Amino acid sequence: MKQIILIAFLLISTAAYATDPVIYYMDAVSGNDNNAGTSPETAWETFAKVNRTALNPDDHVLLRRGQRFGSNQRDTCLVVSSSGTAGHPIVYGAWGTGDMPVDDASRQITGWESQGGNIYKRTKTVTDSTYAIWFGGVLGTRVMTVDALDVNREWIHWPDSTKVYLTTAADTASVWKSKTNAISSTSKNYITIQNLKITHGASNNNTALSVNIKINTSTNVTITCCVIDSSYGYAIITSGIFSNIRSNIFYANNRNTNAQADSGYFYNNTVIGGTEGFTQSNVKNWAVKNNIFYSQTSEFIKFSQATPYLASNNIFYATSYTNKWVRKTTYFSTLASWQDSTGQEANSLTGDPLFVNAAAGDYRLTSNSPAINRGANLGLLQDLTGRSIIGTPDIGAYETIPEINSWLNSFYYEKKRSW
Pick the CATH number of 19-103+181-261 from 3.40.50.170, 2.40.50.140, 2.160.20.10, 2.70.170.10: 2.160.20.10
Q: How many whole angstroms separate alpha carbon 371 and alpha carbon 393?
A: 9
> What pLDDT score does 285 carry?
86
Q: What tens-digit pLDDT sequence spans the chain (419 residues)?
A: 434 444 444 444 444 445 789 999 999 999 999 999 999 999 999 999 999 999 999 999 999 999 999 866 555 789 999 999 999 999 999 999 999 999 999 888 888 999 999 999 988 655 556 678 999 888 899 898 889 999 999 999 877 788 899 988 889 998 988 878 899 999 999 999 999 999 998 876 666 667 899 999 999 999 999 999 999 889 999 999 999 999 999 999 999 999 988 899 999 999 999 999 999 876 678 999 999 999 999 999 998 766 668 899 999 999 999 999 998 889 999 999 999 998 999 999 999 999 999 999 999 999 999 999 999 999 999 999 999 999 999 999 999 976 554 444 455 444 444 44
Q: Is the CB of residue 89 less than 8 Å from the CB of residue 188?
A: no
Amino acid at 329: T
Q: How far apart are CA 92 and CA 115, in angstroms?
A: 44
pLDDT of residue 379: 96
CA distances from 415 to 70, 244, 322, 386, 409 (A): 26, 27, 40, 11, 10
The helix or strand, by DSSP H or E, that contains position 62, with its residue range, turns out to be strand 60-64
What is d(CA 350, CA 335) in angstroms, rounded to the nearest whole number? 7
Q: Where are the beta strands (DSSP E) in 219-282?
A: 221-224, 227-229, 234-240, 242-246, 249-251, 255-259, 263-267, 270-272, 276-280
- For the chain, give every domain's residue range: 19-103+181-261, 106-178
Cα 64 to Cα 31: distance, rounded to the nearest angstrom: 10
Q: What is the pLDDT of residue 76?
A: 73
Distance CA 419, CA 417 (A): 6
Question: Residue 406's pLDDT is what?
Answer: 43
pLDDT of residue 352: 98
Neighbours of 200 (CB within 10 A): 29
> Is-contact 263 285, C-beta < 8 A?
yes
Give the model's pLDDT for residue 14: 43
Helices first, then strands: H and E counts in the chain: 4, 38
pLDDT at 161: 82
